[in-house]
Amino acid sequence: MSKRKPDKLVEFRFGLQDKERQMFDQYVAAHSFNSVTTPIVTLMNDMSGMAVFLELVASLGLAGVVFIFSGGPYEDMTTMVADWLFQRDEAAAAVGITLAGRGPLWGTIDLFERLFGINLPDFPGGYEPPKGGGGGF
């Protein structure tokens, strides 16, 4: 027995105000960020996952220079990361690249130094305001 065709179509439309749209956009952005970072952090929690991650960063050139990360087996994560950094610096020196040693907050600290004309610790390097202050770009 076949179904008969519907005789009317009902359409529901939900409208969001600006605040609700903003909250929804923030939720989508946070969910997207978590869906990408959670597997990466889970992978980096064990030694083999961290080795794979460091090898990908090295081979794709995301460290400033392309190199092959080799070595191991490592007893702990600190030794592995130190060896990776040593191999990165060695590869950069081999091709004549100087990698800037920047801290974790370098961009933010440089911005505050330029805007307010004050010298903040920036782990080392980055923009340093002229003696006597004076902010601005």
- List per-residue pLDDT tens for the chain, 137 residues long: 788 888 899 999 988 899 999 999 999 999 999 998 888 888 777 888 888 888 888 888 877 788 888 877 888 888 888 888 888 888 888 888 777 665 555 567 667 777 777 776 655 555 565 665 544 44
* Of the candidates 34, 65, 64, 71, the residue with the CA atom closest to the CA atom of residue 50: 71
For the chain, the domains span 18-95, 100-137
Measured CA distances, 34 to 6, 22, 25, 42 (Å): 43, 18, 14, 12
pTM of the model: 0.49
